[in-house]
Amino acid sequence: MVAISLADFRRSADSRHAAFVGDALSVGKAEGDQLVFEDTVYANLLHRHPPKLGSEAAALLQSGGSWIAAGLLVVDGGTHQARSGQCAVCPSWDARRARCLECGCFGLKLWLTSSRCTLGKW
């Protein structure tokens, strides 16, 4: 199961095409202040509605700016491996394209000390 807070869902919806919201609401279940999806249903939803290119570019610039401001520090190999492992089993990770369907990152973010997973996995 994938549970997403309504605030995180709104942020994610802002970076996607308009049809994403309707599709998500038709397959997700509201539970309190969260939307809950079956893993495979959520992964399919993200595959059908990847982030807009402009949103991906903005996220890349933001990550790069934060990394520069933090002193260009990278994580050690163990931290990178742990982060990679979390991404590999996440329903938002598209192994075929080697990128996250939630934020659009392509793995570079895994090395940056200033970066955090959009879904809070690391």
Q: Which amino acid is at 49?
A: H
Q: What is the pLDDT of residues 5-29, one digit of tens each?
A: 888 888 777 777 777 788 888 888 9
Burial (Cβ within 10 Å: 0-12, 13-18, ≥19) of residue 71: exposed
Greatest alpha-carbon pair distance for the chain in Å reads 44
pLDDT given for residue 85 in this prediction: 92
Q: What is the pLDDT of residues 61-111, one digit of tens each?
A: 888 888 888 888 899 999 999 999 998 888 888 887 778 877 777 778 889
Kindly report the pTM of this predicted structure.
0.55
